[in-house]
Structure 1
Amino acid sequence: MATKISIELLIMVLNNVKSTQDLYSSLLVNRFWCKVTIPILWEIPFGHECRMGYIELRKRALCIRTYISCMDTQARTLLTQNGFDLSSSPPQVTFDYPSFVHKFVINHLVYFISIYSPLIIPQQITGSDQDNNNNENYYEIVIDKSRILFCEICKLIINRCEFLDCFKLVGVNLCYEKYYLSYSDSIGSILKLPGAPNVFKKLESFTSMVGKNEPIHLLYESLALICDNILNMNLEFKSYSQMQLFAKLINAQKRLENLSIVARSNLDFNSFLWAIIGQKESLRSLYLKLVSFYHFEVKSSPIGQFISLQDFYIEDCSGLYRSGSLFFASSLTQLSSFHFRQKCREYPQEFIKKIIEAANINLKNIRLDLISAIPYDIFSAILKYCSKITELTLHILCSEQVILILNNNFNELRKFSFGCGKRFDIDKLLCQMVENVPESIETIEIKMGIFSSDSLKNFFKEWCRKGGGGTKKIIVKCKDRRGLFTLSE
């Protein structure tokens, strides 16, 4: 006799299935499994990602056919009057599919409509002598009429679903750009649709990476008025007006936890940075790329402390040597993970050092991706303040610095990654390392030149012996493979 599984347990299992194909397979088990799987499949009908071939995209685009079947008589009549052939979408459905939507990815809807619309709009313009012109005119008509289908699907989802917890607005490939531009006004006014404020009120995750598209920017202003409980934001912008709208949206939030920003460095970010500081009590992770601190000014009142911020990733930002940025660095007292990446050779030593000093023993993971050697001040700060470090990644160290780290009583260090310069004996370094490597280290990752197999073998043997037989791993990254020993050696 088959064992019955509770609906709660089955939902937990299927919610953790990542493969769409596996979810489709679960539909075929029995009616009970089908009834549980359908809401999970249609929670995000347009998919998280569209990195697939055209054939697969065409299959996924059939969800548009299902949505048309879910439309009421008025919407179907509107589509028919605009030339859509709805014979493949009869007004009969087993489930109320739009009601299951909780995650809405706009760019994917653009993909699917652009693929499906030509299939249901008959090509009425013909003529053997003007095929090229006819095709061009036909697709201009398709793009224009697809706007109507886009609006009706947005209305359908807003009217039927109870809430949206994830909303993504990402740019599209060049071949779909005409469709995207055609829908700009409709996208910008989505929150003006009847019922939209209630549906978006529970929004928890928002992503926007669409650049300078002024009609869409109206959406951000509406979001700031409606949504105040967003937990995760992933924002990319290229204009000052767009940045100001995002600043208002950030200011409106009560419990923002994760914020990712990619921007241009030549903007005045003063008000935007203060919007970020306004979230200092709830923010847990912060990613900043190409953000400028040049115009950042500290007000009469102090910044205070980011009491919840644990992960800070900063990449290719400018103006970090100015006094305002140093006050900002001093406020990051609770950091446990700090990743700094910069492509130019000159980088803000004082800013990095301030962060290390402020976070102190709270720092567990440090990664400095720099293209030049680690300065003495930064290196000394790590040795002095980061006694509880568990993962450390530093590029271009000298052999003396490597040994100093191993000798610094980092008793909780589990992973150590470093790169070596070219002008020293790597075999000798391996011999010195094995004498000083802490027992706690489980993984060593080295970017270095040529060394002998005997040195590596002896290092590994002694390291494992000192480590009490625990799991040990060494990762060697070598660009120059000339003379590198063979695997058998």
Structure 2
Amino acid sequence: MATKIPTEIIIKILNNVQSEDLHSSLLVNRIWCKVTIPILWELILDHEYYSINRKTSLCIRTYISCMNTQTRTLLIQNGFDLSSSPPQATFDYPSFTHKIIINNLANLITIYSQQIIDYFSLAKVNYSCPYKDLIGSILELPGALKVFKKLKDFTSMRGNISQIVPLYESLLLICDNILNMNLSYFSFTSSYQEELFSKLISVQKQLENLTIFAFTKLDYSLFWAIISQKETLKSLHLKFARFYNFEGVSSPIGQIISLQELDLQDCYEFHKPECLFLASSFIRLSSFHYWNLKSEHDGYRHPQEFIVKILETANTNLKNIRLDLRPKIPFDIFSTILNYCTKVTNLTLCNLSPEQVIAIFNNNFNELKRFSFGCEKGLDADELLCQMAKNVPESLETIEINMVYDNFWKFSADSLRKFLDGWCCKGGGGRVKRIIIKNKKNISKRIPLNILELLPYTLTLEHFKVIEEYGIKFNLVEYY
């Protein structure tokens, strides 16, 4: 007798299957089909941008079949040929939508509309902007409240959102339970659009993860929208953001007790004294990432006091620290890590001096598992490895070396042996140890016949014999 698999187990299995492989599970039997459909249609509006085409736009045809008679009649009166979308559908497909890239929805509607529209009829109704009202009225359709009320993941891709402003206005009234939000744009054409983004953030009741990608100045109204989520927000990523008018912020914000992950990439204005009150609010931060592609040599001023205040406030709560400050890590920031962040488990510091590397190894980071670093020009790599070997943290499992300056990272196989002898004999109880080399050379995409071709100035056959002797796992990663 065949064993029947519980539905709960089938759901767990299919949730771990790639979307392109899910279609075959539709044909197994009725139960598998019933379980697979919600999973497939949850992903339908989460496509990568490059996959938006005529084929993927056919999902709009199915959505139209789910519309009621009144809505379908309205579309027909406005020039749409719905003969390919018969009324009624086997499933309530829109109700499965929990994730949406809003620009993809607009693009899918536009592409599919071009296939079924009577342009002469449509021009009589709305010649100036045929798609703006159509897209903007999506949330006014019967059943839209039920669908979008359950929306958990919302992404707005880069681009001009002026054509879908009505859609955002409707979202403000319906979507208040979004968990993950990704807002991305180059610039605002009006302050009203910025206000829409701020309000959309503010109305959320349980927002946990927020990413803002912007090549523009952001008014402190958006800042206050972020602060309004301080009781639920766990992860905040700001990329290319330029906040201004911090001097206009006078009210205290209190402690942001929920935030655990803060990622600031190429952000500006945080060097101002007015920002220190923000840095001192991250009391539960466990992961902090800050990097900026510009160097102080270019006239850019790193927000040293801001970073120091974050490290001091979060102190031993910080488990993951990644800093890329050019041309080197300032003394104040480095000493703060040594004195306050003693429980760190994953530490990435670019552009260190050999003395700073040794200081890390001598600081008794008893929980450090992964250390990633790069060194300045002119280092004596043999001497550095020998010094590191004297006091390797017993908890250390992975060392990642960023070979930014390839010609200066030359060390002998004997020096490598001394280091591995000190590392592998330091406790661990058989713990697997790994070395990762990040090389900035233009590594060929093909698989080389000889790995030594990739690092001709650094590693030789003798180096690999030592690595094999100590049972070290070795990875080579292309670094740009």
Aligning the two structures, in what range does the TM-score lie when normalised by the shorter sequence? 0.7 to 0.9
TM-score (norm 1): 0.79
CA change 1:289–1:71 in 2 (3 A) is closer
Partner of 2:303: 348
In structure 1, what is the equivalent of residue 201 of structure 2? Answer: 250
CA contact (8 A) 2:100 2:155 kept: no
- Quickly say closer, same or farther: Cα 1:246–1:360, change in 2 above 3 A: same
Q: How has the CA–CA distance of structure 1 residues 142 and 331 changed in structure 2, closer, same or farther, with 3 Å as cutoff? A: farther
The residue matched to 1:313 in structure 2 has which SS? strand
The alpha-carbon distance between structure 1 residues 214 and 96, as it changes in their structure 2 partners (threshold 3 A), is closer
Q: CA deviation at 1:470?
A: 1.5
- Would you say 1:319 and 2:269 are equivalent positions? yes
CA distance in 2, matches of 1:394, 1:470: 24
Q: Which has a greater percent of strand? A: 2
Deviation larger for 252-261 or 219-228: 219-228
Indicate conservation of the 8 Å contact 2:102/2:154, yes or no.
no
Which shows bigger deviation, 425-434 or 213-222? 213-222
1:486 correspondence with 2:436: no
Rounded Cα–Cα distance in structure 2 between residues aligned with 1:117 and 1:295: 43
**Partners in 2 of 1:265 and 1:47 — Cα distance?**
26
- Residue 476 of structure 1 corresponds to which residue in structure 2? 437
How far apart are 1:445 and its partner, in Å? 0.5
Which string of whole-angstrom CA distances, capped at 9 and with x for unpartnered residues, describes residues 324-355 of structure 1?
21111011111100000112223111111010
1:154 corresponds to which residue? none
The change in CA–CA distance for 1:11 and 1:83 in structure 2 (over 3 A counts) is same
SS of residue matched to 2:359: helix
Q: Residue 252 and residue 429 in structure 1: after superposition, are their counterparts in 2 closer, same or farther (change >3 A)? A: same
Q: How far apart in 2 are the matches of 1:142 and 1:419?
A: 64
What is the aligned residue count?
Answer: 434
When residues 220 and 79 of structure 1 are mapped into structure 2, their CA distance, relative to the original with a 3 A threshold, is closer
Structure 1 counterpart of 2:364:
409
Maintained 8 Å contact 1:356/1:382 = yes
Coordinate RMSD, CA, aligned: 3.2
Residue 380 (1) aligns with residue 341 (2): no
Q: Is the 8 A contact 1:288 1:317 kept in 2?
A: yes
Q: 1:408 is matched by which residue type in structure 2?
A: N
| Conservation of the 8 A alpha-carbon contact between 1:417 and 1:445 | yes
Q: 466-475 or 446-455: which moved more?
A: 446-455
Are 1:263 and 1:290, in contact at CA under 8 Å, matched by a contact in 2?
A: yes
Which residue in the other structure is 1:217 paired with?
165
TM-score (norm 2): 0.80
Give the share of equivalent positions with the same residue, in percent. 61
Report the CA distance shift for 1:33/1:407 in structure 2 as closer, same or farther (over 3 A).
same
Amino acid at match of 1:450: K
* Aligned residue number for residue 213 of structure 2: 262
Q: Which residue of 1 aligns with 2:44?
A: 45
State the match for 1:187 in structure 2.
135
Q: C-alpha displacement at 1:254, in angstroms? A: 2.9
Quick check: 1:393 aligned with 2:348? yes
Output one character per residue of 1:218-251: Cα deviation in whole Å (capped at 9) or x when no partner: 3333333333333222113422332222222222
Match of 1:425 among 377, 380, 384: 380
1:60 and 2:56 are equivalent in the alignment: yes
**Is 2:417 the counterpart of 1:462?**
no
Query: Secondary structure at 2:282's aligned position in 1?
Result: coil
Q: CA deviation at 1:356?
A: 0.4
Flag the 1:421–1:284 CA change in 2: closer, same or farther, 3 A: same
Q: Given residue 25 of structure 2, which amino acid in structure 1 is its aligned partner?
A: S
- The farther-off stretch of 107-116 and 449-458 is 107-116
Is residue 2:258 matched to residue 1:308?
A: yes
For structure 1, the residue ranges without an aligned partner over 5 or more in a row are 123-140, 149-178
What is the CA-CA distance between 1:96 and the residue it aligns to? Answer: 4.4
Corresponding residue for residue 452 of structure 1 = 412
Q: Which amino acid aligns with 1:306?
A: I
Q: Deviations over 1:132-185 (max 9, x none)?
A: xxxxxxxxx49968x99xxxxxxxxxxxxxxxxxxxxxxxxxxxxxx9x75233
- Does the 8 A contact of 2:285 with 2:314 survive in 1? yes
In structure 1, how many angstroms separate the alpha carbons of the residues matched to 2:343 and 2:132? 50
Equivalent position of 1:174 in the other structure: none
Counterpart AA for 1:41: L
2:104 corresponding residue in structure 1? 108
Structure 2: 5+ residue runs without aligned partners? Answer: 296-300, 404-408, 442-454, 464-480
The residue type equivalent to 2:162 in the other structure is E
Quickly say closer, same or farther: Cα 1:298–1:256, change in 2 above 3 A. farther
Quote the Cα distance in structure 2 between the aligned partners of 1:470 and 1:326. Answer: 41
What CA distance in whole angstroms lies between the structure 1 residues aligned with 2:14 and 2:462? 45
- Mark the CA change 1:255 to 1:298 in structure 2 (over 3 Å): closer, same or farther: farther
Is the contact between residue 273 and residue 296 of structure 1 (CA under 8 Å) also seen in structure 2? no
Q: 3-state SS of the aligned residue for 1:292?
A: strand
1:294 and 1:320 in contact (8 A); partners too: no
Aligned mates of 2:158, 2:136 — CA distance in 1: 12
Name 2:466's counterpart in structure 1: none
Q: Structure 2 counterpart of 1:319, which letter?
A: E
Give deviations 1:85-111, integer Å, cap 9, x for gaps: 666555575444445444444443455
Alpha-carbon distance in structure 1 between the residues aligned to 2:136 and 2:384 = 60
- CA–CA distance in 2 between the matches of 1:242 and 1:431? 58
